[in-house]
């Protein structure tokens, strides 16, 4: 499908005309696929044996037409050869790492990666004889110094959660290529609207499609995008491990992707305005948003990204209790742990991470930190609501 991003988001990956003349891609709700006769089975097996891409599948764990439409669309949006759909972002991450790493290998991961991703590395990968070194996302020298002869993968997020640090993709790719290391970027916070890591030389891009790609807080899904060579390895692991998204979730994701650019552009604009407002408020100690000149990697973000994203994190002047009051005083956003949907959602990350203060500090989560996942509401309403809540904690 040719065209710019918004046109691709609507049309790419979907058959035309569609089955039954439907405008939307149907939900193919089946667990198995039947054959007309034995000759059709033998032809199907011949295609598999010779390495040809079969024109069909025989069982739901190996594919589904609704799922395939999503995969084709995401591949086009990210500029990859192929994409694979999973039932969650974590399933995409764990299957990818499991497929590409073996006992005795070494992984380098940024310290600011999602805590469940880090937990997978420090528990399961360690159990399987795979070591992980954690490095700061903003220190290219530390990344280079962490390399060992058995280093196979670099894994980073950009922007990171919740402090929105930005990985220098060109520097990372240059270092990795010099040592034959595969690079993986979790680009959930950026989306292909704001950043296409494959264009910077990154090998694989992962999304928690639950977030911005789905956009409506009504599904769980994950995607991996990259070259056919790497995706074939990950697909074989998916067939064995069974991480298959349901046809209905695939349909919901397909629907959400059609408005991706419209939603993300509005969220970019809203987040920029909110970040600027917060930075000027006396009750706010610091604001973390790549679109602000005060952000330590603002210039890198300007060079690398087309937009700065729909999440703003900030610290207030005060302790954890005062921060909780602020969250409770907000009236427009819901309180919850996710992001990327049309509704604004706010959280105090420390409160949802652990009751143990030492564990929160070890994870780098300050008690006075707020993460505001901006929706598509009117920015004036969001700012007015923030203003009344910030004023309320000072009274």
pLDDT at 298 over 70: yes
Q: How far apart are CA 181 and CA 40, in angstroms?
A: 42
Residue 1: its pLDDT value, please? 63
Q: How far apart are CA 297 and CA 166, in angstroms?
A: 6
∠ CA 290-160-171 to the nearest 5 degrees? 80
What's the whole-model pTM score? 0.95
Kindly write down the DSSP assignment for every residue of 304-365, as one continuous string.
Answer: H-SS--SEEEEEESS-HHHHHHHHHH--SSEE-S--SSSS-EEE-HHHHH-S-HHHHHHTT-
Quickly tell me which residue has 């420390």 as its tokens.
350
Mean pLDDT for the chain overall: 95
Confidence of residue 260 (pLDDT cuts 50, 70, 90): very high
Q: Dump pLDDT digits (tens) for 338-370.
A: 999 999 999 999 887 777 787 777 777 889 999
Quickly tell me which residue has 């977030």 as its tokens.
211
Q: How far apart are CA 242 and CA 239, in angstroms?
A: 5
pLDDT at 53 over 80: no
* Full strand arrangement of the beta sheet holding 222-226: 82-86, 222-226, 204-208, 182-186, 151-157, 106-110, 131-135
Query: Catalytic residue numbers?
Result: 61, 114, 186, 211
Instruction: State mean pLDDT over 150-173.
Output: 97
Report which DSSP code applies to 137.
T
Name which residue leads in pLDDT, 352 or 191: 191
Q: Would you say the CATH fold of 260-392 matches that of 5-28+64-255?
A: no
Residue 357: its pLDDT value, please? 81
Q: How far apart are CA 185 and CA 155, in angstroms?
A: 6
Instruction: State mean pLDDT over 250-273.
Output: 98
User: Does domain 260-392 bear CATH number 3.90.1150.10?
Assistant: yes
Q: How far apart are CA 384 and CA 276, in angstroms?
A: 13
Question: Is 187:195 a contact under the CB 8 Å cutoff?
Answer: yes
Instruction: State mean pLDDT over 203-208.
Output: 98
Task: Output the CA–CA distances (angstroms, integers) from residue 38 to 45, 60, 184, 278, in the order listed.
Answer: 11, 20, 42, 67
Phi and psi at residue 30, to the nearest 5°: -145, 150
Poorest-confidence range of 91-100, 103-112, 212-221, 348-357? 348-357
> What is the number of other CB atoms lying within 10 angstroms of the CB of residue 379?
17
Domain locations in the chain? 5-28+64-255, 260-392
Residue 132: its pLDDT value, please? 98
Q: Dump pLDDT digits (tens) for 63-102.
A: 999 999 999 999 999 999 999 999 999 999 999 999 999 9
Residue 206: its pLDDT value, please? 98
How large a percentage of the chain has pLDDT more than 70?
99
Per the structure block, which two tokens stand in for 176? 């990795």
Q: Which CATH number fits domain 5-28+64-255: 1.10.10.10, 3.40.430.10, 3.40.640.10, 3.40.30.10?
A: 3.40.640.10
Which of 104, 113, 102, 117 minimizes the C-alpha distance to 136? 113
Q: Dump pLDDT digits (tens) for 4-15.
A: 999 999 999 998
């Amino acid at each position: 499908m040719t065209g710019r991003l918004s046109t691709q988001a609507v049309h790419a990956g979907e058959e035309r005309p569609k089955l039954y003349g439907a405008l939307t891609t149907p939900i193919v709700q089946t667990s198995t696929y039947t054959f007309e006769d034995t000759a059709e089975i033998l032809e199907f097996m011949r295609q598999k044996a010779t390495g040809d891409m079969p024109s069909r599948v025989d069982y739901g764990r190996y594919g589904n037409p609704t799922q395939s439409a999503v995969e084709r669309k995401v591949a086009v949006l990210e500029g990859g050869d192929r994409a694979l759909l999973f039932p969650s972002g974590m399933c995409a991450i764990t299957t990818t790492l499991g497929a590409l790493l073996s006992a005795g290998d070494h992984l380098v991961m940024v310290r600011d990666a999602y805590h469940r991703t880090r937990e997978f590395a420090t528990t399961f990968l360690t159990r399987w004889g795979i070591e992980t070194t954690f490095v700061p996302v903003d220190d290219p020298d530390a990344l280079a110094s962490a390399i060992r002869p058995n280093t196979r993968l670099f894994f980073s997020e950009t922007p990171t959660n919740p402090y929105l640090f930005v990985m220098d993709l060109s520097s990372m790719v240059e270092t990795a290529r010099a040592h034959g290391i595969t690079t993986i970027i979790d680009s959930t916070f950026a989306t292909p609207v704001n950043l296409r890591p494959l264009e910077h030389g990154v090998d694989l891009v992962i999304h928690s499609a639950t977030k911005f790609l789905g956009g409506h807080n009504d599904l769980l899904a994950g995607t991996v995008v990259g070259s056919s060579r790497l995706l074939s390895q990950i697909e074989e692991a998916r067939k064995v491990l069974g991480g298959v998204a349901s046809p209905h979730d695939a349909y919901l994701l397909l629907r959400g992707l059609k408005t991706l650019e419209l939603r993300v552009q509005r969220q970019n604009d809203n987040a920029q305005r909110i970040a600027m407002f917060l930075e000027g408020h006396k009750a706010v100690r610091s604001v973390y948003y790549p679109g602000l000149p005060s952000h330590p990697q603002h210039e890198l973000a300007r060079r690398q990204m087309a937009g700065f994203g729909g999440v703003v994190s900030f610290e207030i002047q005060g302790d954890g209790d005062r921060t909780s009051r602020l969250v409770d005083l907000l009236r427009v956003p819901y309180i919850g742990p996710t992001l990327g949907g049309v509704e604004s959602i706010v959280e105090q990350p420390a409160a949802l991470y652990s009751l143990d203060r030492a564990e929160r500090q070890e994870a780098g989560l300050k008690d006075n930190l707020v993460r505001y996942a901006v929706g598509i509401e009117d920015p004036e309403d969001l700012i007015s609501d923030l203003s009344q809540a910030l004023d309320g904690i000072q009274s």
